[in-house]
Amino acid sequence: MKHVYFITGGGKTKIGLSEAPLLRLTTLRANSPVPLKLIGTFPGTWRIEHALHEQYADYHSHGEWFDLTFTPAIIEEIRLWVEARQEEARQIRATFSSRVAAREAPEHCSLPGCDRPYKAKGLCMMHYMRARKTPQV
């Protein structure tokens, strides 16, 4: 599982994504002229990381580093905001999935006079293949 992490040092904060944030911290420390500290993590995806980068774009310094110092309390607020958005997305997906499942596929081709079995888009295999090759069936 990947985690969005916040590493701070020298008045800057790195917002990144890693399966092993502590290992990432160790790697960054080896190449950093200032002491670095991992100040928070939460489960996330690259979309969440990207959204946070966009949210704080006005403070962008270089790479994934921002001219901000986050506190654990601020990171907790961000985590709660992310969880709320993820729950909202799960509800939307569940609603969409139930609507799709409720739709029944036709048994036969929808073209008049054709009683071949349904393949896709309401058409049998022959009419579906014709429709793919030409705009008219």
Range of 3-7, 76-80, 125-129 with top mean pLDDT: 3-7
> pTM for the whole thing?
0.63
The DSSP bridge partners found for residue 38 are 7
**In 1-137, at which residue ranges do the beta strands (DSSP E only) sit?**
3-9, 12-18, 37-43, 60-62, 65-66
Q: What is the mean pLDDT of residues 95-120?
A: 72
User: What is the tens place of the pLDDT at every residue in 10-67?
Assistant: 999 999 999 999 999 999 999 999 999 999 998 888 888 988 898 889 999 999 999 9
- pLDDT band (50, 70, 90) for residue 99: low
CB 26 within 8 A of CB 37: no
Q: Cβ of 90: how many Cβ atoms within 10 Å?
A: 10
Residue with tokens 């929808």: 110
- pLDDT band (50, 70, 90) for residue 6: very high
Give the closest residue to 69 by CA, choosing from 8, 21, 134: 8
Quote the percentage of the chain above a pLDDT of 90: 36
Domain boundaries along the sequence of the chain: 3-102, 104-137
pLDDT at site 26: 95
Mean pLDDT across the chain: 83
Q: How far apart are alpha carbons 90 and 98 in whole angstroms?
A: 12
- pLDDT band (50, 70, 90) for residue 104: low
